Amino acid sequence: MGLIFFALGCVGLILAIRRLIKGQLFDWWRMWKVSAGLVPVECFQPVTPKMQKEARLRRKMAKEKRTLALSPGYAS
């Protein structure tokens, strides 16, 4: 396992030296431009009317279930 780790470290070092020779190792400006071109990803999807309707329906069903459970003679 240590041999694999050492080999991958050597490969990474060789690639870093190769990039250094080509002058690309510290090309932060190009990397920033590429990352800025990816545009931010929205984490929260917009709430659609269909989603709001579904939420209201689920709340109504849960409320009815609670009401039935509290009524006498209800067996679940």
75 belongs to a structural domain: no
Total number of domains constituting the chain:
1
Question: Among 76, 8, 10, which Cα is nearest to 67's?
Answer: 76
Token look-up 């545009």 returns 39
55 belongs to a structural domain: no
44 belongs to a structural domain: no
Q: Which two tokens stand for residue 66?
A: 């609670």
pLDDT (tens digit, 0 to 9) for every residue of the chain, 76 residues total? Answer: 889 999 999 999 998 888 888 887 777 777 777 777 776 666 777 788 898 899 899 888 888 877 666 666 655 5
74 belongs to a structural domain: no
Does the global pTM surpass 0.75? no
Q: How far apart, in Å, are the Cα atoms of 11 and each of 20, 22, 51?
A: 14, 17, 51
The domain in which residue 3 lies consists of: 1-37
7 belongs to a structural domain: yes
23 belongs to a structural domain: yes
Read off the pLDDT of residues 3-12 as tens digits, 9 standing for 90 and up: 999 999 999 9
